[in-house]
């Protein structure tokens, strides 16, 4: 999936990418997902997503094993970067107010009415 085009490099050696407009049917990439060039070479992992919701910026932490390739990419701003479609199932959300799972049963507190503190 094409995630956007390279804008430049930050002071912390992260690539800054300007994402395309997110549509409701497209999956937003997760933090930690690997990022690839058009030649299917791994560039790094998504470190952060920030900025406006409709067209955010993506920070990619580059991996050290392909430093020479990364320098070539930095020279050619505007190159599109990609992520692979994820086959992971989405995590179940645990909202507040819902009882915990059956592994952690709820313990009811009982109070003895006959015993009073003096």
Q: Domain 2-82 - what CATH class?
A: mainly beta
C-alpha to C-alpha distance for 61 and 46, rounded to whole angstroms: 6
Give every CB contact of residue 17 below 8 A, 6+ residues apart in sequence.
3, 4, 5, 6, 7, 57, 58, 59, 60, 81
DSSP state of 44: E
Q: What is the pTM of this model?
A: 0.65
Spatial CB neighbours of 80, under 8 Å, sequence gap ≥ 6: 2, 3, 4, 5, 38
Q: What is the pLDDT of residue 11?
A: 87
- Quote the CA–CA distance of 13 and 80 in Å, as a whole number: 18
The full set of domain ranges for the chain reads 2-82
d(CA 22, CA 49) in angstroms, rounded, equals 13
What does the pLDDT look like over 59-110, one tens digit per residue? Answer: 999 887 655 665 676 677 888 888 887 655 555 555 555 555 556 555 666 6
- 75 and 89 Cβ atoms separated by less than 8 Å: no
pLDDT at 37 (0 to 100): 86
pLDDT tens-place string over residues 43-71 = 899 999 999 888 899 999 988 765 566 56
Please report the pLDDT score of residue 78 as a whole number.
84
Rounded Cα gap, residues 15 and 23, in angstroms: 23
């Amino acid at each position: 999936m094409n995630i956007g085009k390279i804008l430049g490099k930050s002071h912390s050696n992260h690539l800054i990418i300007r994402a395309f407009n997110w549509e409701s049917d497209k999956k937003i990439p997760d933090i930690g997902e690997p990022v690839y060039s058009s030649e299917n070479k791994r560039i790094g992992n998504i470190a952060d997503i920030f900025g406006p919701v409709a067209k955010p910026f993506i920070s990619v932490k580059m991996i050290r094993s392909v430093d020479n390739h990364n320098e070539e990419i930095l020279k050619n701003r505007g190159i599109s970067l990609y992520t692979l479609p994820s086959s992971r199932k989405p995590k179940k959300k645990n909202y507040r107010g819902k009882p915990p799972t059956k592994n952690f049963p709820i313990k009811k507190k009982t109070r003895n009415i006959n015993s009073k503190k003096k």
